[in-house]
Amino acid sequence: MYIDNPATYTDYYELTMAQGYYLAGMHKKRASFDYFFRKIPFEGGYVVFAGLQELINTLQHLTFSQSETEYLRREKFSDEFISYLENFSFKGNIYSVREGEIIFPGEPILRVEGNLLETQLIETILLNILNFQSLIATKASRIKVAAGEQSVVLDFGLRRSQGLGGIHATRAAMIGGFDGTSNVYSARRFDIPAGGTMAHSWVQSFDDELTAFRTYAKYYPDDTVLLVDTYDTLQSGVPNAIRVAKELQEKGYSLKAIRLDSGDLAYFSRKARNMLDQAGFHDVKIAASNQLDERVITSLRTQDAPIDIFGVGTKLVTGHPSPALDGVYKLSSFGGEPKLKISENIEKITLPGKKKIFRYLNEDGTFYGDAILLQDEKVIERMHHPTFPAQKSDVRRRRHEEIMLPVIEKGNILTPELTIEAISAYRKERLDKLQREFKRLEFPHIYKVGISSSVMEIRDVLMKVHKT
């Protein structure tokens, strides 16, 4: 899937700058931009990188249609510039970590190279795709970690999403570890497992709850999940579900699950589990929904709530309580020279030049820390804290892996298109290598991200130049 008419899916100032570069004769000069973020959302310890494949596919279709150029004429852009755009396509290079990678603040996790106009023009769409999908994939990962690998976690969020954001939220949730969705549109577009059962309106539409359950089981005997809290969960809902389970059993079928959508989920799930077990239905699962997130699920686990399936909606697709990942896109070189942005806040000073990332490993293969190096560096002895350079780590004896790879060269895609299942599997493989101290919900450890001596030297030199 890609965004239709992506050329004007942008901020207005990207177009005014692009025209300015063109009219000034600067548009063909070479530039590179870094994508990175400064703060981990949800007060967490890591971020799951998502949206790369969507970005790649979108850039392949980034051309200016006749309707778009006509709009630009109405907006008083020059005919000369518009004529240039009529033949525009992205011909640059992109280096990136893999989708599903575990990433950390300050790292240039994606680099765009090309002429100044094309590298500038894709800024907004790049940030829109990567920031949102990485945010939701991270939220989903936290929820899955809280629920446990043995539990099923489903996306119920489309009706509560910010408009069409629900489409990509579902994709990102699956990368983050979810098992399926109620979102039929995304399931179809992204080949995601879809499912759903009934709402309270189904039960209310019949004269009584038992008839509602029996009717549903009649038409869906292989996949019957009954919502048991419309009237009285323990006095009516669960007993009626057990009656239908017995009737299904007599016909050679099995009740798949019951669902709780309100009330004290820990209390009701324990009571329902006892009632089901006493009736001999040990294999009937219990599903729960209603304003769930990683913290509520952790609380339910602490209370030994026997819930097998979690349906998560609002707090997943809205990224609650962190509404956005603060990813930014900054110029790092122009005309073959390194560039940086200076700020009174040292943490907002950017890192100049073309760079790469080495991920250093502990002896057991878990992640130790990441170092940001210049592109042509082969080996370093130590990495320095970006803002407190006296703090450094010796990495001479540690194994490492380079985690940024070329994905687009001269506009051509170099990497195969992966299924969401494959991307999610990679996310799990990498997350398993992150020590548990970084994955806990409360006060996670801060992962080491450092810079090489060469990166630090170039940054410090340029800072002095620009301050004089």
Q: Note whether residue 143 is domain-resident.
A: no
Residue 180: which CATH number? Answer: 3.20.20.70
* Residues 190, 52: Cα–Cα separation, whole Å: 14
Q: What is the pLDDT of residues 307-341, one digit of tens each?
A: 999 999 999 999 999 999 999 999 999 999 999 99
Task: Tell how far CA 361 is from the center of its chain.
Answer: 24
Helix axes 238-250, 265-278, angle to 10 degrees: 40
| Within-domain flag for 200 | yes
pLDDT band at 347 (very low <50, low <70, confident <90, very high): confident
Task: Say whether both 186 and 303 belong to one domain.
Answer: yes
Mark whether 299 and 169 lie in a shared domain. Answer: yes
Question: Of 283, 317, 351, which closes a domain?
Answer: 317
Domain boundary among 317, 341, 373: 317
220 and 111, same domain (yes or no): no
Q: Does some domain include residue 145?
A: no
**Does position 389 have pLDDT exceeding 90, yes or no?**
no
Is there a domain that residue 26 lies in? yes
pLDDT > 80? residue 467: no
> Which of the residue ranges 123-127, 173-177, 252-256, 385-389 would you say has the lowest mean pLDDT?
385-389
- State the pLDDT confidence band at 468, using cuts at 50, 70 and 90: low
Residue 216's domain spans which residues? 150-317
Q: Are residues 167 and 298 in the same domain?
A: yes
Contact 129, 137 (CB under 8 A): no
What domain count does the chain have? 2
Task: Inform me whether the pLDDT recorded for 150 exceeds 80.
Answer: yes
Is 141 part of any domain?
no
Residue 348 confidence class, pLDDT cut points 50, 70, 90: confident
Question: Tens digits of per-residue pLDDT, 231-268?
Answer: 999 999 999 999 999 999 999 999 999 999 999 999 99
Q: Judge if 304 and 380 occupy the same domain.
A: no
pLDDT in tens, 171-201: 999 999 999 999 999 999 999 999 999 999 9
pLDDT given for residue 154 in this prediction: 98
Domain shared by 389 and 463, yes or no = yes
Please state, rounded to an integer, the average pLDDT across all residues of the chain.
96
Cis before 41? omega within 30: no
Handedness of CA 102, 188, 155, 275 (dihedral sign): negative
229 and 378 inside one domain: no
- Please determine, for residue 18, whether its predicted confidence score (pLDDT) is greater than 80: yes
What is the reported pLDDT for 343?
A: 84
In this structure, the answer to whether residues 304 and 204 fall within a common structural domain is: yes
Query: Tens digits of per-residue pLDDT, 24-68?
Result: 999 999 999 999 999 999 999 999 999 999 999 999 999 999 999
CATH number at residue 63: 3.20.140.10
Same domain, residue pair 388 and 289: no
Last residue of a domain, one of 317, 346, 371: 317
> Is 166 in the same domain as 268?
yes
Whether pLDDT at 417 is above 70: yes
Q: Provide the pLDDT for residue 4.
A: 76
Q: Examine the domain organization and report whether 118 and 205 are in the same domain.
A: no
Residue 107 lies in a domain: yes
Same domain (yes/no): 273, 415: no
**Where does the pLDDT of residue 3 fall: very low under 50, low under 70, confident under 90, or very high at 90 and above?**
confident
